[in-house]
Amino acid sequence: MGRSAGPAAGGGARRPATVRPARPGPLVLRALHAVRALREMRGTRAVSGMCGLPNPRLTGLGSGLLCAAVMLVLGLLDQLLFGASPTVYGVLFLPVCLLTALWVRKGDLLTAPVVVPIAFAVGLVAVAEGGKGPGGWLMGLVTALATEAGWLYGGTLIAGSTVIVRRIRLVRDRADTVRNRPPV
């Protein structure tokens, strides 16, 4: 005896076909493994030191000085290698903003969105085209700040949103600690 071919042959209701979810590709699997590994490493300095992931915690002043120094060096490199391209400078500014917001310590989180525009202006000194004399140089700097405001706003937005996410996580971690504390 064979299997029934359908509802007419067996007299019963037809089972719905099961839909299998699409299998993730190798790139998605690698990303998921990386996210899982980073979650496991979170909070353990020994593991992050072994993997080569830097985890500095800078004060507000330290993050501002580091950001300004890096942007000045990037501005000078941009001038030497690309002929003072404001677009290259702006693109290089965005990851510096992200790293500044990630590396500032918890107590100084609000300084990151403040120091990145200052650092942008510091590095822009090397990129801005100026005329003769201090007046022409200042006019070139103000013009560069006005024309490259999109990069400035974008970097500040990246730093601000990163700081907000870090602050939300900090508040949630504190609430979990208080909630899980044994009663006295």
pLDDT value at residue 13? 62
3-state SS of the chain is: CCCCCCHHHHCCCCCCCCCCCCCCCHHHHHHHHHHHHHHHHCCCHHHHHHHCCCCCCECHHHHHHHHHHHHHHHHHHHHHHHCCCHHHHHHHHHHHHHHHHHHECHHHHHHHHHHHHHHHHHHHHHHCCCCCHHHHHHHHHHHHHHHCHHHHHHHHHHHHHHHHHHHHHHHHHHHHHHHHCCCC
Taking only the tens place, the pLDDT of each residue in 9-58 is 555 566 666 666 566 677 767 777 777 776 666 555 444 444 555 678 89
pLDDT value at residue 181? 83
With a pLDDT cut of 90, the percent of the chain lying above it is: 50
Q: Which two tokens stand for residue 184?
A: 């006295």
Query: Looking at per-residue confidence, does 151 or 20 come out higher?
Result: 151
Residue 1 clears pLDDT 70, i.e. is over it: no
Residue 5 clears pLDDT 60, i.e. is over it: no
pLDDT value at residue 24? 65
pLDDT value at residue 27? 73
Taking only the tens place, the pLDDT of each residue in 76-89 is 999 999 988 999 99
Q: Give the Cα separation of 19 and 183 in Å (integer).
A: 48
Query: Looking at per-residue confidence, does 131 or 174 come out higher?
Result: 174
Q: Give the Cα separation of 127 and 146 in Å (integer).
A: 13
pLDDT value at residue 47? 43
pLDDT band at 136; cut points 50, 70, 90: confident
pLDDT value at residue 99? 94
